[in-house]
Chain A
Amino acid sequence: MMTEKLSFKKGKRGRAAFIICNTVFLCLLMLIMVIPLWKVIVDSLDPTSVGIRLWPKQISFYAYKTILSKKSLYLPFFVSVYTTIGATAVGLLMTTLAAYVILQQEIPGRKLMITYIMFTMLFSGGMIPAYLNIQKLGLMNNLLVIILPAGVSTYNIVLMRSFFESIPSTLYEAAELDGCTPLRTFWKIVLPLSKPALASVGLFIAVGTWNEYMPFILYMQDNSKMNFQVKVRELILQDALAGTAISASDDMLKSAVVVVVVFPFLIIYPFVQKYFTKGVTVGAVKG
């Protein structure tokens, strides 16, 4: 990284002005990103909140208490956690394997494999055939339907492969000379070096799975297998909350639900971000 100090010496003034402007601009941008969410938090706490008000006039945890008292939201939450973790693990494994295979320039049939993957990005049979397919496979009402196909996407494989390219190929070759099978090389060398990529692609998959609702509604039959997002949709789109609480407005409850549904990522994100930053460093060192 370049080291550069803020300096107002002649000739550096333009640069200094830029740094200040940039900082101010980014701060403004962050405000724009955050205000709507902040407003949601305020609305979830303040039953009287309206319009322009950005600071709660009074604070009441009534909405959160109502949500926490809804035992029916607990199980969906765990279903969400379970499927998200499962889908992320399975998706990452498949994505990395496929990306690693495609990285092999000389493997016979490489083009075919690439086409095989690309084609799925463009064509799909649509909702009905997909449904009939799952039914024929006997996977109805089985959470594997959510977990198995979730992470495998062309986009993720492309990202993963690009990352693998940045790992010096000498490392693989050395391992191969040591008599490692490709599987072992993959497990012992490629994966450990790919933590940053795993973190990023993993987060992609996790966010996608967490926000999923349609497959649950289509393929799950037991109420106990619905995820959190399905419940949240019910709460937001329908009036399921209406009438439940006299002292909290529906808006307040909805806001609280929004906060709860985003919350897990706000918790997880800082931990994952560590790897994001590392990913950046790995690239830099190598470059």
Chain B
Amino acid sequence: MKRNVTKKLVAVALASAMAMTAAGCGGGDDAASNNSSTPASSDAASTPASSEVASSDAASSEAPTEVAKPDTISWWTHDGLNEENGSEQWFAEFEKFTGIHLDHQFIPNNEYYDKLKLAFASHEVPEVFDLNGANLALYASQGAIKDLTPYIKASGLWDKVDPEIWDAIAIDGKVYAVPKEIPSAACTYVRGDWLERLNMEVPKTYDEFLDMIRRFKTEIPECEIGLTAPGVKSPQNLPEFYQGAQFGFYRENGEWKDGFAQPNMADAMQRMQDAYKEGLLDMEIITNTTSTCRDAWYEGKVGVFNYWSGKWGGTLQERLEANNEGAIALAINPIDGAVYSFATLSGLCISADVSDEKAEQIFKYFFEYMHDGGEGQLLFQSGVEGVHWEQDGDNVKPLPNLADPSAVTTSVWITPWLSLTPMELTDKKVAQADAVVNSLAITDAVAVQTPITPVSETLNMITSDLELEKADILAKVVMGEMTVEQGVAAYAEVADELNVQKVLDELNGK
């Protein structure tokens, strides 16, 4: 969970001029790719960018009574802009545009959820804050956040956004959070230049995939690590090995199941164990962090690495190439059976302590403004003109990052090509590097949405212990200290002891 947020946190961008000669990448999927990545396909009339009053046209026409504008809104964040890269200018700009003062606090990412819970315990909660997957479900089940469904439906935002998104973030049919942006998905990157050197095709099956890593390891001297990943418990990071198996609870045909207990998980464990034993997986896979993996990739000693598409596709290419001339980070289509998935959705919530009246105001002047397809969205995507971007023809040209002039600010709170609603201003296009487009094309075409895990009383009680036991068993099996059969048996025992059946019964409403 933490990791997903962390990656998004990296609001540092890549230089825009960058080329990737990704040959076999994308295939026929290019055309289907960009429901989200081309920002400006606007046929709607463009709103004047400098309108003083923040009114989202679609919404205001539908609102029956006039909603008063709030004076201040309190908001906590743990990613996106901070003081270093111009948050103060941003809030000033927001206030200038809307007349609303944002009372904002930035919480270090690692401590964000601790502090939020403390705030709830002490009844000093911010009005607006974001929550991710499991936490969203927890807070919703405790009645700590407002059900936003009526506001979303009344505002017209419901119809403007891909229904799949609402479906994925809804809990029992109610939407408690509005995503800031469409989640990123991860895809597998391989060393395209090594494939060329070995005169190999992009692998299509698991056997071809393993064979590729094997040949990387044996025939490419620089290849010290075949495939790396931060840990083994994320199907998202190891799609070729999991092949659709799930580490946690998942829903299939309307029924919740314990992924770890399914037979396909045993197969996945076997695949990982074999590959680890053969030395195809990073020996340090258990203790790796995302940053150690990335560093190894940048150094040019890794053959295969599954990571975020889009912005990161660009960064992986750029930094790899900086250290290794001619190196190519090639995003590949999923091999047979592998499933690329989107990150769990997260979104902005409104505290249940807020009055209905204020909640309506916040929704209208903050949430709707953020996704208005015009001035507000531009502010949330690209930041302040003259501080974060400047006009360049029809394009928004990102300016050097205030904190680190060697990079540019491509996004402040919303990644432009991941925006929830299309940008309607025709002169505010955002140029993208090839490496970004190519990896996005793949994930946009094939990645699947992960629905949020709902909570049950028993699950809440056992979840920390259960996660721990699963992680322990999986690590032991992968490293070969336990056979798959032993692992399965050990888990059966744990599941029995912690009463996983009761969790399933509760989830399935039995």
Contacts of B403 in A (CB 8 A): 70-72, 244
Whole-angstrom distance between the alpha carbons of A221 and B108 in the complex? 11
Instruction: List CB contacts (< 8 Å) of A88-102 with chain B.
Output: none
Tell me the smallest distance from the CB of A220 to a CB of chain B, in Å.
10
Contacts of B114 in A (CB 8 A): 217-218
What is the distance, in angstroms, from B58's C-beta to the closest C-beta of chain A? 35
- Tell whether, in the assembled complex, residue A131 and residue B295 are in contact, meaning their CB atoms are under 8 Å apart: no
**Judging by beta carbons under 8 Å apart, are A218 and B115 in contact?**
yes
B124 at interface (Cβ–Cβ under 8 A)?
yes
How far is the CB of A26 from the nearest CB of chain B, in Å?
Answer: 33
Judged by a CB distance under 8 angstroms, whether B7 is at the interface is yes
User: Is A244 within 8 A of B122, CB to CB?
Assistant: no
Would you call B83 and A135 a contact (CB within 8 A)? no
Is residue A180 within 8 Å, beta carbon to beta carbon, of the partner chain?
A: no
Q: Helix, strand, loop or mixed for chain A's interface?
A: helix
Is B121 interfacial (CB 8 A cutoff)? yes
Q: Considering the complex, which residues of chain B in the window 138-177 have a beta carbon less than 8 Å from any beta carbon of chain A?
A: none
Known: A223-B106, A234-B109. A250 touches B124 (CB 8 A): no
Closest residue on chain A to residue B105 by CB atoms: A221
- Whether B108 lies near A242 (C-beta < 8 A) is no
Interface contact B299-A249, CB-CB below 8 Å = yes
Q: A223-B82, A246-B318 given as contacts; is B10 within 8 A of A237 (CB)?
A: no
By a CB distance below 8 angstroms, the chain B residues around A274 are none
**Does chain A have a CB within 8 A of B60?**
no
Q: Chain B residues near A221 (CB, 8 Å)? A: 105
Chain B 88-110 against A: per-residue CB contact (8 Å), 1 yes, 0 no? 00000000000000000111111
Residue B508 interfacial (CB < 8 Å) = no
Q: Which residue of A lies closest to B15 (CB)?
A: A246
Q: Answer whether residue A247 sits at the interface, using C-beta atoms and an 8 A cutoff.
A: yes
A223-B106, A249-B295 are contacts. A244–B12 as well, Cβ < 8 Å? yes
Interface of B is mostly: helix
> Which residues in window 257-301 of B have CB below 8 A to A?
290-291, 294-295, 298-299
Q: Tell me, yes or no, whether A240 is within 8 Å of chain B by CB.
A: yes
B7 near A239 (CB under 8 angstroms)?
Answer: yes
* Docked complex: B1-42 residues within 8 A CB-CB of A: 6-7, 9-10, 12-14
Residues of B within 8 A of A69 (CB): 404
Contacts of A247 in B (CB 8 A): 322
Residues of A within 8 A of B111 (CB): 217-218
Cβ-defined contact, A239 with B291, below 8 A? yes
A5-19 Cβ-contact flags toward B at 8 Å (1 or 0): 000000000000000
Bound CA–CA A240/B8 (angstroms): 10
- Does A250 contact B9, Cβ atoms closer than 8 Å? no
Interchain CB contact (< 8 A) of A132 among B12, B83, B122: B122
Contacts of B14 in A (CB 8 A): 243
How far is A249 from B105 in the complex, measured between Cα atoms in Å?
Answer: 30
B407 interface residue (CB < 8 Å to A): yes
Contact yes or no, B122 A135, CB < 8 A: yes
Query: By the criterion CB–CB under 8 Å, are A240 and B9 in contact?
Result: yes
A54 at the interface (CB under 8 A from B): no
List B contacts of A223 (CB < 8 A). 82-83, 105-106
The residues of A that contact B290 with a CB separation of less than 8 Å are 239
Q: Is the CB of B108 within 8 A of A234?
A: yes
User: CB-CB contacts of B206-237 with A at 8 A, as 1s and 0s?
Assistant: 00000000000000000000000000000000
Listed A/B pairs (11) with beta-carbon separation below 8 Å: A127-B118, A135-B124, A218-B118, A223-B83, A233-B108, A239-B9, A242-B315, A244-B406, A244-B407, A246-B319, A246-B406
Binding site for B on A (CB under 8 A): 66, 69-72, 127-128, 131-132, 135, 217-218, 221-224, 226, 230, 233-234, 237-240, 242-247, 249-251
Q: A223-B82, A245-B406 are in contact. List 9 more A-B contacts (CB 8 A).
A: A70-B403, A70-B404, A223-B106, A233-B108, A238-B9, A239-B7, A243-B10, A244-B404, A249-B298
User: What are the nearest 5 A-B pairs in CB distance?
Assistant: A72-B84, A243-B12, A217-B111, A244-B404, A246-B322
